[in-house]
A and B are shown apart, each in its own frame.
Chain A
Amino acid sequence: MSILQAWRQAATSSVGPIRGSYTAFDRGLTTKSTSNSPKELSDIAAPAQPTRDVMVADVISGAPSQLRHRAVRVYQPTRNTMQCGQAKGDRWRIDFDILQGGGRWENPLMGWASSADYMQGTRMSFRSKEDAIHFAEKQGWDYYVQQSTVKRIPPKNYAENYLYRPGTLRIMKTK
């Protein structure tokens, strides 16, 4: 049984929350467009996407058959917390789970890292989750989707620093 099937089995047994979370990241994806005001963010489940016909390419792609036994993760990499830039932050990525045991090793003398796994360094970026899923399906890869998280930042206000507060002060603000 593929991961997808397992995942779907789990999903169908509990349509509510999973479906809900699906819609959550669908929404997360579209919040950037201005027409989509935050008001639209409700918990109403979006209709499921119609199933698409996917032509599976792995039979003729010439890819090694071992690839079909490995799962890929479809996810949206989170922004680096070290930087504030947002470029490329809405991309979805596919990469492979690493192989256990013997897949990678280090040269004991020089410390170079080597690998017997030709897919461990491969990662692909897609504009949307659907594109990524489509690609994985087309390649016949087992995949699982990690939902993306949405930042929840309350409105912020500079004047907040200078508000009068009755009662004991709990912090002496600085800077």
Chain B
Amino acid sequence: MLARLPRRLPIQAFQARRPLSTTLQRKSDALFVHRDTPYNNPKIAFEFDAETMKRANEIISHYPPQYKKAAVIPLLDLGQRQNKGWTSISVMNYVAKLLEMPPMRVYEVATFYTMFNREPIGTNFVQVCTTTPCMLRGSTDILNTTLQHLGGIKPGQTTKDGKFTVVEVECQGACSNAPMIVVGDDYYEDLTPETTRKILDAFAKGEKPKPGPQSGRFTSENSAGLTTLTTKPYGPGEFCLPEFS
């Protein structure tokens, strides 16, 4: 079994070595304690705009009136979207006020979930998956390519022009299309260093490349072409869904 592995793995997986720790040394207090800064302090006003408010009310209406607090995660997400992709202390305070919760209960949620960015991010938020399946398929290269292509930043940093923020993330659930990155809300899969650069260039120009596998295959179909179900399925006929009929 092990002997067969190298044949199946792309050779890059063994060329690109990662040091023990490539991530920034995180000091936990930098992450989980709020410090007032000019760009992030409770005095900066924040409010949902009309459209967000409509959606927020819709979400809140899903829950019993005394359990409005159940809407805290979707509302924080709405706030983050409205607030240029990051959840400032004002967003949290506003959500707390809206849901009649003690603010600390909102802080607890916002600090628990890593997808709430509590520091400002660039226009394009690039999340590179480096979990095992992606790593085996060469995500280390993808990460290094991304970082170098964006001017040699480190994971967790934003480019000087403020266009990109790159972070390493854990499994995004697209393992069959590894390696992959997420830009904004879209998955870019089946990457090679070239396609990665292309995607980043497109974003740098303000364009939006087509999400999905970049190798040209359809979703997660076999990249070497279909081996089964190649013929038209027999029966049962007219009651099948249209694509099977």
B-contacting residues of A (Cβ < 8 Å)? Answer: 165-169, 172, 174
Contacts and interface: CB of A to CB of B under 8 A. Distances in A.
A174 B69 CA distance: 12
Contacts of A165: 66
Interface in B82-123: 101-102, 104-105, 108
A68 to B, nearest CB: 61
A104 B223 CA distance: 90
B66 A172 contact: no
Contacts of B69: 169, 172
- Chain B contact residues, majority secondary structure: helix
B110 to A, nearest CB: 14
Contacts of A172: 69, 101-102, 105
B32 interface: no
Contact of B108 (A167, A169, A174): A174
Give the interface residue-count category, chain B: under 10
B69 to A, nearest CB: 6
B67 interface: yes
A169 B67 contact: yes
In the complex, the 6 A-B pairs of residues with the closest C-beta atoms, listed nearest first: A172-B105, A169-B66, A172-B101, A168-B66, A172-B102, A172-B69
Nearest to B69: A172
Contacts of B101: 172
Contacts of A169: 66-67, 69
Contact of A167 (B66, B102, B104): B66
B73 to A, nearest CB: 14
A174 B101 CA distance: 12
Contacts of B67: 169
A172 B104 CA distance: 10
14 contacts: A165-B66, A166-B66, A167-B66, A168-B66, A169-B66, A169-B67, A169-B69, A172-B69, A172-B101, A172-B102, A172-B105, A174-B104, A174-B105, A174-B108
Interface in B58-82: 66-67, 69
